[in-house]
């Protein structure tokens, strides 16, 4: 009986402490949300008001027509979706080659993939700038998609390779005898079985370009400017800081990543901890 009570207290304590922790963690975000729904006059009040006196969603409406935010938003959507799609197609093919064929240079190329995965963006920023400039792709959607695809491929290929290897080859051998070619095999057998990994990898590539700042900051000026860089240009000026709109835009911008992370929590955690946790 005593043990049972102890266990109960322990559980309640865990929920209490866990809840407190989580609340402390999201408190900054709650503050930002309340900032985005108060009138500017209330925002710049000292001392700050904890609870807004009046709530307005003006910022969420105004941010679309007063500045270039709409354009940056479209840029972000176009670049991120293109990156996800292209990185996915290229990585699926590459991972299939690694998982199903023995060929000269396989180990070396896989090493290249693994090493590239660890490569920090800032360490090749300068030569990459020259490459993109030489190709005439500075400040273009194509240039940004190319860069993000390059940075997404290593992780995508590595993860898919592991997943493909776990799929038994018997099915493919039967289909090969039936006269399917390799592409058909990939499309009809591997892809449906690897659906969870493909979702995870596509999400990864999408978020990589959606959230990226450094390359967008250095390689774009106006045409291909994405939200992470555009926030400042759109809402922070020398004379007026539209904090309400800045945070309204930031929150809209944060919705896709939050929805994807939370919605795909299970796959995501699996991917994140793959290889790191002993089974």
Partner 1 sequence: MTTSTSNMRRNMTPYYFLLPAMLVLAVIILYPVVSNLIMSVYKVKLFRGAGDEFIGMTNYAKLLGSRTFVNSIWSSVRFTVYSLPVAFVLGLGMALIFNEIKKYRPVFTGFLLVPWAIAPVVTGYMWRWLFHDTFGLVNYALLSLGIIDANIPWLAQPDTAVGAVVVANVWRFMPYITIMLLAGLQGVSTELYEAAHVDGANIFERFFHVTLPQLKHVIGVVFLFATIWMVNDFALIFIMTEGGPAKATQVVPITVYRIAFEHLRLGKGAAAALILLLFLLSMSMLFIRVLFREQRKKADAS
CB of 266 to partner 1, least distance (A): 8
CA-to-CA separations, 245 to 27, 153, 259, in angstroms, rounded? 20, 35, 21
CB of 183 to partner 1, least distance (A): 9
Cβ within 8 Å of residue 224, ≥6 positions away: 75, 79, 139, 140, 141, 143, 144, 216
CB contact at 8 A, 155 and 267: no
Min. distance of Cβ 4 from partner 1 in angstroms? Answer: 15
Paired strand residues for 241: 236
**Smallest distance from the beta carbon of 146 to partner 1, in angstroms?**
6
CA–CA distances in Å: residue 222 to residues 9, 42, 72, 216, 234: 58, 33, 9, 10, 11
Phi, psi of 162 (to 5 degrees): -60, -40
CA-to-CA distance for 273 and 277, rounded, in angstroms?
6
Minimum CB separation of residue 174 from partner 1 in Å reads 18
* Contacts of residue 49, Cβ cutoff 8 Å, sequence gap at least 6: 38, 42
**CB atoms inside a 10 Å sphere around CB 33:** 13
Smallest distance, partner 1 to C-beta of residue 64, A: 18
Map residue 53 onto helix, strand or coil: coil
């Amino acid at each position: 009986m005593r043990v049972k009570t102890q266990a109960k207290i322990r559980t309640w304590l865990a929920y209490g402490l866990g809840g407190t922790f989580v609340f402390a963690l999201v408190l900054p975000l709650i503050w930002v949300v309340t900032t985005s729904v108060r009138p500017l006059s209330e925002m710049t009040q000292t001392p700050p008001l904890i609870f807004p006196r009046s709530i307005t969603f003006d910022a969420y409406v105004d941010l679309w027509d007063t500045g270039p935010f709409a354009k940056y938003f479209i840029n972000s959507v176009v670049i991120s979706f293109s990156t996800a799609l292209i990185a996915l197609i290229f990585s699926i093919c590459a991972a299939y080659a690694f998982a199903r064929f023995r060929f000269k240079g396989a180990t070396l190329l896989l090493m290249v993939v693994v090493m590239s995965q660890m490569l920090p963006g800032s360490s090749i920023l300068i030569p990459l700038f020259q490459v993109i400039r030489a190709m005439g792709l500075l400040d273009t959607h194509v240039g940004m998609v190319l860069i993000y695809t390059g940075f997404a491929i290593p992780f995508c290929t590595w993860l898919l390779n592991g997943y493909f290897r776990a799929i038994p080859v018997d099915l493919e051998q039967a289909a090969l005898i039936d006269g399917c070619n390799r592409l058909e095999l990939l499309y009809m057998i591997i892809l449906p079985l690897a659906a969870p990994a493909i979702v995870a990898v596509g999400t990864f590539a999408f978020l990589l370009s959606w959230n990226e700042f450094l390359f967008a900051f250095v390689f774009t000026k106006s045409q291909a400017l994405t939200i992470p860089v555009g926030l400042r240009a759109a809402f922070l000026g020398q004379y007026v800081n539209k904090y309400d709109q800045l945070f309204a835009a930031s929150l809209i911008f944060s919705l896709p990543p939050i929805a994807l992370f939370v919605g795909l929590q299970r796959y995501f955690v699996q991917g994140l901890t793959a290889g790191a946790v002993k089974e």
